[in-house]
C-alpha cells in the first residue's frame, strides 16, 4: 500500500512465532503495513488474530525463547529495528516508540508513585536531573488533564480511577515525545464517557506533537472516530487495507463486511444479526488455502486450494480475496426500512415488579467496626418487566447496575423495598420457598472464564440446576436433557464430558445460557453477557438470546454499558446514575429523544459509524464515589446544563410521555 514517500514505520512481511506444545504457532504470519508520520493506523480484528503480537514485535518485546521474530523487516525512521542490538533497541523503546496497554488497572506498578513512574522514563531517555524530571512529569500530568498534578504526582496507582490511570499511561508514553505511539486497545476496559475523553486526548496530543499512532482495537466504531488508515487482520495476516474514507464505504473483504453486519443496531432490531460461524483457525495449523475460507459465506473452490495474495482493487485499497467483485459493505449507505416496533409497553401485570429498592452497604470504621455511613449502591429504584420483555439497564461502571441485578434475584441482602415476582412477594418468603422459586429466575454473568467451575464437566455444570430443582430422574435422563440443551444453544452435544477450559469464550457463554435454560426460567438477569466477546461472537449470543426469548417467552433484565447492544435487544431502557434511575422509556423514546443530560452525554460519547459532525458532549470527570454522592441531583457536577437549583434537591420524576420519564430539573 503506497501512502507516503517515506513512511515513519514500515512493517514488511513480519512473522512472529511461538513454540507451543502443539507445534509452532505462527501468531503473525507475514503482515505488511506503513504508518506515515503524524497519522493513525488502526489494526482491527477479532481476538487471537495477532494484533497485539504485531505491536509487541514492533517493540521487540516478544518473550524469548518461547517466542521469536522469524522475519522480515520493521523499518523505523530508515533503520531496521530487527537488526538493532538489545541496547540500541532499549534506547528506542519508551523514547522514539512508546506503548500503552489495554488494562490501565494493571499496567502501572502498584508500589511506585505515578511520579516515580513518569520520571523514570524521562530520566532514562532524556538524561535530566531529578528536579527537572519532576517538573516535566508535573507538566505531562497537566497535559493529560489530571487535576492538581503537583499533588497527584505523589499518589499511588490504586488511588486513581481507571480513566486517570490510562491518562498516566499516556503521560508516561508521551513524556519523551515519541514519533510513534502504539496503543493496544487503550479504551476497551473504560466506560464510553471516559473512552471519549481518552480518544479526544490522544487526538489532541497527536495534533500538537505530530505523533503517529498505531491503534489496535476490535471496535470498528472507535476506528471510525480516530483512524486515518485501516488494516484488517485475520489469522496473522492483513486481509484488507484502505484509507478511512474508502474503508467505511467500500470495504469488501467478506470478513470485513461480515464484521460490519454483525454489529448490533436499532435498524436490525427485527432481524437476526449476521454472524461468522466457526472461529479463527489455530495458528499452529493454518489451512492451505484462504484462512477465512471455512467461515466465508462466499467461498468457492479456489479459496480452499490457493492462498489469496494482497492485491490492489483501487488506489490505496487492497484485499486478500479471490473474489473479483466482492460486494462492499452496505451499512453505511443503505437504510433499512424500519419495521414495526415490538411490544414495548408495560403489560397489565408485570412479571417482575420492584418498588423503592434500596441496597446500602455499611461503611465500618475503627476497632469496634462501628457504622459511620452507607454506600448507597441502589437508592430507591422502581422497575417492572413484563412477560417476554427486555429491560436494559445502562450506565457507567460503578453506578450500581450489577448490584441492582443481583438484588432483584435476592442474591445479595436488600436494605429495603419490595420485589414481586409473578405476584409473589419474594422479600418475605422463606429460604426454601425462595430456593424453589429460583428455578424461575436465573442469572448469567459477564466473565465467561470466571463463571464456570473449572473442575466440573459441562454436563455437571448444566445438570446442577436440574438436580437442585429435581428435574430429570436419573443421570441418564439428565444427560439426555443436557444434550438437548447443548443442541439448542448451538454446542455439539458430543462435548458433554469436556471441561470449561476446552471451550472458547463464546462457547462458554453458550454453556452459561444452557445452564439457565435447564431449569426453564421465566426471567433472566443478563449481566454484561457479551462485553467480553468479539463482535461476531457477540452477534451469535444476541441472536440466541433473542430466539430463546421468542420461543420461551422469557423476560430479560439486560445489564450493559454497550448502547448499540441495547438498541438491538431491549424493548425498554432504564438509565442509571449513582444508584438512581435518571431516565426510562422505550428504546425509541430514550435513544431518539433523550431527556436527561446524562443520557444525552452517554449517547453522544458512544462512538458511532456514519455520524460525522455529530455534536459531541464531553462529560467532564468520572462517576463520583457513591459513599458521598453530590448534594442535590447527583449528576450536577458533570452536567453541562446545570442550574443553581440542581445543587440543592434531587429532582422528582417527570413524565415526558406515557412510558418515557426522567428525573431532571430541566423539565420542572
Backbone φ and ψ for 398, nearest 5 degrees, come out as: 90, 5
State the nearest-atom distance from the C-beta of 330 to another protein, in Å: 39
Give me the residues that bind another protein (CB under 8 A), please.
Answer: 59, 61, 90-95, 98-99, 101, 103, 106-113, 120-121, 124-125, 156, 158-159, 169, 172, 365-367
Q: Tell me the C-alpha to C-alpha distance, in Å, between residue 184 and each of 193, 213, 263.
A: 19, 10, 21
Instruction: Pick between residue 131 and residue 369 the one whose CB is nearest to another protein.
Output: 369
Sheet strands (E) in 280-439? 311-314, 317-319, 352-365, 370-385, 390-394, 416-421, 424-425
Instruction: Pick between residue 98 and residue 402 the one whose CB is nearest to another protein.
Output: 98
State the nearest-atom distance from the C-beta of 99 to another protein, in Å: 4
Work out the number of other CB atoms within 10 angstroms of the CB of residue 143.
19
Instruction: Pick between residue 184 and residue 528 the one whose CB is nearest to another protein.
Output: 184
Instruction: Pick between residue 375 and residue 383 the one whose CB is nearest to another protein.
Output: 375
State the nearest-atom distance from the C-beta of 164 to another protein, in Å: 16
Task: Provide the 8-state DSSP code for 308.
Answer: P
Q: Which long-range contacts (CB under 8 A, 24 or more apart) does 459-467 make?
A: 459/496, 459/497, 461/500, 461/511, 461/515, 462/486, 462/511, 462/514, 462/515, 462/518, 463/518, 464/515, 465/439, 465/515, 465/516, 465/518, 465/519, 466/518, 466/519
Instruction: Pick between residue 93 and residue 634 the one whose CB is nearest to another protein.
Output: 93
Instruction: Pick between residue 123 and residue 331 the one whose CB is nearest to another protein.
Output: 123
Residue 525's closest CA among 603, 624, 419, 647? 419
State the nearest-atom distance from the C-beta of 206 to another protein, in Å: 19
Instruction: Pick between residue 103 and residue 464 the one whose CB is nearest to another protein.
Output: 103
DSSP assignment string, 429-460: S-HHHHHHHGGGEEEE-S-TTTSS-TTS-HHH
Instruction: Pick between residue 137 and residue 414 the one whose CB is nearest to another protein.
Output: 137
**Under 8 Å CB-to-CB from 524, ≥6 apart: which residues?**
441, 442, 443, 444, 516, 554, 555, 556, 557
State the nearest-atom distance from the C-beta of 233 to another protein, in Å: 20
State the nearest-atom distance from the C-beta of 193 to another protein, in Å: 23
Instruction: Pick between residue 93 and residue 439 the one whose CB is nearest to another protein.
Output: 93
Q: Tell me the C-alpha to C-alpha distance, in Å, between residue 38 and each of 57, 163, 238.
A: 21, 24, 22
Alpha helices in 238-358 (DSSP H): 244-250, 254-261, 301-305
3-class SS at 16?
Answer: strand
State the nearest-atom distance from the C-beta of 75 to another protein, in Å: 19
State the nearest-atom distance from the C-beta of 101 to another protein, in Å: 6
Cα–Cα dist 436/251, whole Å: 53
Instruction: Pick between residue 65 and residue 473 the one whose CB is nearest to another protein.
Output: 65
State the nearest-atom distance from the C-beta of 87 to another protein, in Å: 8
Copy the grid coordinates of residue 7.
513512511
State the nearest-atom distance from the C-beta of 19 to another protein, in Å: 12
Q: What is the largest CA-CA distance in the chain?
A: 76
Cα–Cα dist 134/114, whole Å: 11
Q: How many residues does the chain have?
A: 668
Copy the grid coordinates of residue 341.
416496533
State the nearest-atom distance from the C-beta of 454 to another protein, in Å: 19
Give helix 505-517 / helix 475-488 axis angle, nearest 10°. 120
Instruction: Pick between residue 95 and residue 262 the one whose CB is nearest to another protein.
Output: 95
For the chain, state the CA radius of gyration.
Answer: 26
Amino acid at each position: 500500500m503506497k501512502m507516503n514517500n517515506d513512511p515513519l514505520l514500515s512493517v514488511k512481511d513480519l512473522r512472529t512465532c511461538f513454540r507451543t506444545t502443539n507445534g509452532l504457532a505462527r501468531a503473525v504470519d507475514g503482515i505488511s503495513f506503513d504508518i506515515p508520520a503524524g497519522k493513525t493506523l488502526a489494526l482491527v480484528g477479532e481476538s487471537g488474530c495477532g494484533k497485539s503480537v504485531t505491536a509487541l514485535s514492533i517493540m521487540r518485546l516478544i518473550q524469548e525463547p518461547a517466542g521469536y521474530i522469524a522475519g522480515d523487516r520493521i523499518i523505523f525512521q530508515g533503520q531496521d529495528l530487527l537488526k538493532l542490538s538489545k541496547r540500541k533497541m532499549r534506547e528506542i523503546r519508551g523514547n522514539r516508540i512508546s506503548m500503552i496497554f489495554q488494562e490501565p488497572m494493571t499496567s502501572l506498578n502498584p508500589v511506585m508513585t505515578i511520579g516515580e513512574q513518569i520520571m523514570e522514563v524521562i530520566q532514562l531517555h532524556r538524561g535530566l536531573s531529578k528536579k527537572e524530571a519532576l517538573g516535566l512529569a508535573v507538566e505531562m500530568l497537566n497535559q493529560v488533564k489530571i487535576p492538581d498534578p503537583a499533588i497527584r504526582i505523589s499518589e499511588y496507582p490504586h488511588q486513581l480511577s481507571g480513566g486517570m490511570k490510562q491518562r498516566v499511561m499516556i503521560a508516561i508514553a508521551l513524556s519523551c515525545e515519541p514519533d510513534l505511539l502504539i496503543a493496544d486497545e487503550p479504551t476497551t476496559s473504560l466506560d464510553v464517557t471516559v473512552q471519549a475523553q481518552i480518544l479526544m486526548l490522544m487526538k489532541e496530543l497527536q495534533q500538537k506533537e505530530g505523533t503517529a499512532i498505531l491503534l489496535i482495537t476490535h471496535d470498528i466504531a472507535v476506528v471510525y472516530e480516530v483512524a486515518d488508515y485501516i488494516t484488517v487482520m485475520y489469522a496473522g495476516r492483513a486481509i484488507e487495507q484502505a484509507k478511512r474514507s474508502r474503508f467505511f464505504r467500500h470495504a469488501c473483504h467478506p470478513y470485513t463486511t461480515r464484521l460490519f453486519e454483525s454489529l448490533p443496531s436499532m435498524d436490525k432490531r427485527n432481524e437476526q444479526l449476521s454472524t461468522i460461524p466457526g472461529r479463527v483457525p489455530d495458528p499452529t495449523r493454518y489451512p492451505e488455502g484462504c484462512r477465512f475460507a471455512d467461515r466465508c459465506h462466499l467461498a468457492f473452490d479456489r479459496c480452499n486450494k490457493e492462498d489469496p495474495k494482497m492485491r490492489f482493487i483501487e488506489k490505496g485499497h487492497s484485499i486478500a480475496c479471490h473474489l473479483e467483485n466482492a460486494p462492499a459493505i452496505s451499512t453505511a449507505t443503505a437504510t433499512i426500512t424500519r419495521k414495526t416496533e415490538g411490544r414495548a409497553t408495560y403489560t397489565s401485570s408485570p412479571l417482575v415488579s420492584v418498588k423503592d429498592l434500596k441496597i446500602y452497604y455499611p461503611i465500618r470504621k475503627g476497632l469496634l467496626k462501628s457504622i459511620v455511613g452507607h454506600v448507597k449502591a441502589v437508592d430507591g429504584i422502581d422497575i417492572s418487566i413484563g412477560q417476554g420483555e427486555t429491560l436494559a439497564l445502562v450506565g457507567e461502571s460503578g453506578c450500581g447496575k450489577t448490584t441492582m441485578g443481583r438484588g432483584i434475584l435476592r442474591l445479595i441482602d436488600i436494605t429495603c423495598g419490595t420485589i414481586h415476582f409473578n405476584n409473589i412477594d419474594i422479600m418475605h418468603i422463606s429460604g426454601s420457598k425462595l430456593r424453589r422459586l429460583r428455578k424461575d429466575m436465573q442469572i448469567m454473568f459477564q466473565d465467561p472464564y470466571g463463571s464456570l467451575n473449572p473442575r466440573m464437566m459441562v454436563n455437571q455444570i448444566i445438570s446442577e440446576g436440574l438436580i437442585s430443582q429435581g428435574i430429570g430422574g436419573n443421570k441418564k435422563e439428565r444427560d439426555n436433557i443436557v444434550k438437548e440443551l447443548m443442541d439448542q444453544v448451538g454446542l455439539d452435544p458430543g462435548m458433554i464430558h469436556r471441561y470449561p477450559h476446552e471451550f472458547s469464550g463464546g462457547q462458554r457463554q453458550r454453556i452459561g445460557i444452557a445452564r439457565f435454560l435447564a431449569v426453564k426460567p421465566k426471567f433472566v438477569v443478563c449481566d454484561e453477557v457479551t462485553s467480553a466477546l468479539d463482535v461476531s461472537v457477540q452477534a451469535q449470543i444476541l441472536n440466541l438470546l433473542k430466539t430463546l426469548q421468542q420461543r420461551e417467552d422469557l423476560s430479560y433484565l439486560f445489564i450493559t454499558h454497550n448502547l448499540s447492544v441495547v438498541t438491538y435487544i431491549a424493548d425498554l431502557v432504564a438509565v442509571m446514575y449513582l444508584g438512581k434511575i435518571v431516565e426510562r422509556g422505550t428504546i425509541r423514546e430514550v435513544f431518539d429523544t433523550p431527556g436527561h443530560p446524562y443520557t444525552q452525554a452517554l449517547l453522544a460519547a458512544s462512538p458511532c459509524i456514519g455520524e460525522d459532525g455529530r455534536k459531541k458532549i464531553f462529560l467532564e470527570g468520572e462517576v463520583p464515589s457513591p459513599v458521598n454522592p453530590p448534594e442535590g441531583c447527583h449528576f450536577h457536577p458533570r452536567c453541562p446544563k446545570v442550574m443553581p437549583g440542581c445543587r440543592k434537591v434531587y429532582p422528582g420524576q417527570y413524565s415526558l410521555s406515557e412510558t418515557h420519564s426522567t428525573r431532571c430539573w430541566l423539565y420542572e
